[in-house]
Amino acid sequence: MSQTWIIDSNCFIHLGSMAPDTFIRDLKKVLSGHKHSLFVTTGVHGEIQNVRFQRWSKKPKVLDEFIPLMTTVTIDENQVKGLAQLIGEKASPQDVDLSLMVLASKMTREGENVILVTDDFKMTTTGEKANLGYETCPPSTFIQRLASLSGSKNKGRMKSLSRRVRAAEMRYAISRVHQYDIQAKLTWMVDSLIEDRPQVQRRPTPESGEMNLKIALQRTLAGEDIKGKYTKRLGALPEICQPILSLDTHISQLTSTNTSEDLLEAYQETLLMMSEVLEAIGLDLAPLDETAAEIAHSALSAYLYRSETALGLMAKMSGKRDTARLHLSRALQSATLIDDSFAEMHAVYQLGLLAMASGKWERSARLFETAEIQAQSISAYRLPYLVCSGISRHLSGDEKTAQKHILLANQLVGQDKQKASVVLMKLGEALLAIDQPGLALEVLDEAMECTLETGSQEQLEILAEHILMANAAMTHDDIIQHEGLRTLLDGLNQLTELEAEEFAKKIQVIEKRADEHTLPLEETWNDWQAATKLIPQDATLKVVRAEVDENQDTLVVVHHNELGSIGIWLPHGEWNVSSGHLLSLGDTRVKLASPTQELQEKHSLRGLVAVEDSSKLMFKAPSEGLVFESDD
């Protein structure tokens, strides 16, 4: 398929600063071998006329080298002014950005497949508001997509250039974090990476001297000895980057068994430490030249990936999903800079779960499908990503693609029922933790089918409790989704007639308990009683969801294996509580009342609890795997 690229001035400036002297030769091969064309407007010529290729021996002008490869279009001044008026901005005849947007819109209407290459996010947002029709991507993604079309000899060079440009884009975006909200821009940058991402082999062999220096710096930070010639060339970089090790040590010591208060404290402490470390490194890097800074940033990417992922998971465990998404987006960016498919897979999967939590099915589908591609590239187990992709596509209305994902997942389930049962159970737990009980129920049903075939009684009991809690947590919206998913996920596993009968018996027992848990508690009391009258001293209640009302009071819906679901009212204040947390009542007293009909129907509550001393409550965060290990 033909592709038209319209390129803004900043892309040429990036190339002038970073492109090796092989770039134009590699680009010509891509353009000649595929139906790709490059376009600019006359205004771009004026903005880049003095830009030179800094890494080339004679430093030729970028414009001179590109003129034979691209088409220049003159845009009428009235068209520029017309677009400016449409989007509510003042414009001059020299407004190059608007001329590029006019050209992109015009060629799109003519039926061309147009992508506007720009790192100016405003050109994306204004284009969407004005419904101009074109797509956008940052320069790093443009180079990455060209790399995917290159021959094996050229691919590594272009991918390396793409990562370096992406690092510069990220540094610029993050440097503006206090000036404007960069979340939307980061999301756009991440989306450009996962759109139509080709399934290509990763990890090209380092070829350049700079890549060797990056590896030498990484080895030095890891405490290894390196050759003297590299020590001399690195100069002060190892000492400058040394503070990152204290951050990495801190991250490695984090646990996910803290109370919710401890978790919030750990998040804030980690965020402060990260800020101090990056500030110290940044101040020392500032006097150095661009090449040294790029080597440092590239070498530090793995450390930053771990730090941002840990911050993202802590935020997610605390129910701060927007904050989690920001950290995990940064983690994904860092993962792409180190070309680590496992890291990318992990970050994209977590972003997919956050999108699921918000009901953004189209976005979650693209994220899970990207994670599945990464899993293929490193031979990781693809089942959870295929199942999540299938669910997301089904809920976005793309039944055909959903079926394809589940068919592939069925093959993996058939190969190893034991492994599939464990993975599906963990996926069900993850879906419960993001308050998607309807989705969790269907996945847990499939996990129980597999477990019946493998014969693990302990796992069957755990699954039975998970399914009971998912049933109790279901809302009306979940029930609607639940009905649509049953037929789809039935394709994950097939039981024999005897196994199907055994499965039906297990489900009937669970459904009977679930029906009992819909009835109000037999005993309630209006006077203060010891909390042990409600649950044993050491028992815990699992948080299903937390909702804040118009008075800023919080209703925490919790589940107990014997009692079912009950609601606990917490007074006005900020409670760091989220789905999946474990609640201990502590040494306090409680009152127990029957729920209102509205609350009973909405949350399947059996009772409402008031707590005399809420300071005695302890919320414990669930395990989210803050230890970074490779996938099986």
Model confidence over 41-54: pLDDT tens digits?
Answer: 988 998 999 999 99
Q: 315-331, pLDDT tens digit by residue?
A: 887 778 888 888 888 88
Number of C-beta neighbours around residue 615 at 10 A: 8
pLDDT score for 208: 45
**Phi-psi region at 213: left, alpha or beta (left = phi > 0; alpha = psi -120 to 50):** alpha
Same domain for 156 and 14: yes
Return the DSSP state at 622. P
Same domain for 532 and 441: no
pLDDT score for 169: 85
Lookup: tokens for 613: 């001393």
258 Cβ partners below 8 Å, 6+ apart?
266, 620, 621
Lookup: tokens for 402: 């959903």
Lookup: tokens for 618: 């302890």
Does residue 344 lie in a domain region? no
Any alpha helices (H) in 416-545, and if so which ranges?
Answer: 417-433, 437-454, 457-473, 476-489, 497-516
Same domain for 144 and 109: yes
Q: 371-398, pLDDT tens digit by residue?
A: 887 787 677 889 999 999 999 999 998 8
**Phi-psi region at 621: left, alpha or beta (left = phi > 0; alpha = psi -120 to 50):** beta
Does residue 253 lie in a domain region? no
pLDDT score for 298: 84
Q: 254-309, pLDDT tens digit by residue?
A: 765 556 667 778 888 999 999 999 999 988 988 888 888 888 888 888 888 888 88
Biggest CA–CA distance in the chain, Å, is: 88
Distance of CA 153 to the CA centre of its chain: 32
> How many domains is the chain built from?
3
Same domain for 597 and 463: no
Same domain for 610 and 468: no
Cα–Cα nearest to 625, from 251, 133, 292: 251
CATH of the domain at 543: 2.40.50.550
Same domain for 616 and 512: no
pTM of whole model > 0.85? no
CATH of the domain at 71: 3.40.50.1010
Q: Are 385 and 375 in contact (CB under 8 A)?
A: yes
Same domain for 573 and 471: no
Same domain for 544 and 471: no
Same domain for 606 and 464: no
User: How far apart are alpha carbons 588 and 617 in whole angstroms?
Assistant: 8
User: How far apart are alpha carbons 164 and 182 in whole angstroms?
Assistant: 20
Q: Decide if pLDDT at 14 tops 90.
A: yes
The residue from 110, 130, 161 where one domain ends is 161
Lookup: tokens for 317: 């465990």
Q: 571-581, pLDDT tens digit by residue?
A: 766 677 777 78
Radius of gyration of the CA atoms of the chain, in A = 28
Name the residue range of residue 602's domain: 525-620
Any alpha helices (H) in 338-456, and if so which ranges?
Answer: 341-357, 361-377, 383-395, 399-415, 417-433, 437-454
